[in-house]
Amino acid sequence: MKALIVGGSPEPSSTELVAELAHEADYVIAADKGAEMLCATGIAPDLFCGDEDSVGKGALETMRSLPLPEKHYPWMKDDTDFGLAVKLARQEAGEREEPLDLVCTCVSGGRPDHALGVFGVMAESAEPISQTGGSLVLHEDRFVCRMLVAGTSWKLGAEAKGHTFSALSLAARSVVTERGMLWCPDHSALGILDDRGVSNQITEDVSEIVCHEGTVAAFLLQELGHTD
pLDDT in the model for residue 80: 85
Q: Where are the alpha helices (DSSP H) in the chain?
A: 15-24, 34-41, 57-65, 81-96, 112-131
**Which of 194, 197, 171 has the alpha carbon at shortest distance from 184?**
197
For 77-99, the DSSP string reads -SS-HHHHHHHHHHHHHHHHT--
- What angle do the packed helices 15-24 and 34-41 form, to 10 degrees? 90
What's the distance, CA 156 to chain centroid?
Answer: 17
Rounded CA separation 171/211 (Å): 12
Considering the chain, tell me which residue range(s) the CATH 3.40.50.10240 domain(s) occupy: 2-141, 145-224
**Which of 153, 131, 137 has the alpha carbon at shortest distance from 86?**
137
pLDDT in the model for residue 14: 96
pLDDT in the model for residue 201: 96
Reported as a single tens digit per residue, the pLDDT across 54-109 is: 787 888 788 888 887 766 655 556 678 899 999 999 999 999 999 999 999 999 99
Q: Is the pLDDT of residue 226 over 50?
A: no
Rounded CA separation 119/203 (Å): 27
Residues facing 200 on adjacent strands: 165
Given a contact cutoff of 8 angstroms between Cβ atoms, the answer to whether 51 and 31 are in contact is no
Given a contact cutoff of 8 angstroms between Cβ atoms, the answer to whether 179 and 142 are in contact is no
Q: What angle do CA 45, 48, 53 make, to 5 degrees?
A: 135
Please tell me the CATH code under which domain 145-224 is placed.
3.40.50.10240
Given a contact cutoff of 8 angstroms between Cβ atoms, the answer to whether 44 and 25 are in contact is no
**Which of 76, 31, 70, 38 has the alpha carbon at shortest distance from 54?**
31
Average pLDDT of the residues of the chain: 92
Q: Looking at domain 2-141, which of 3.40.50.10240, 3.40.50.11440, 3.30.70.2500, 3.40.50.2300 is its CATH number?
A: 3.40.50.10240
Reported as a single tens digit per residue, the pLDDT across 184-220 is: 999 999 999 999 999 999 999 999 999 999 999 999 9
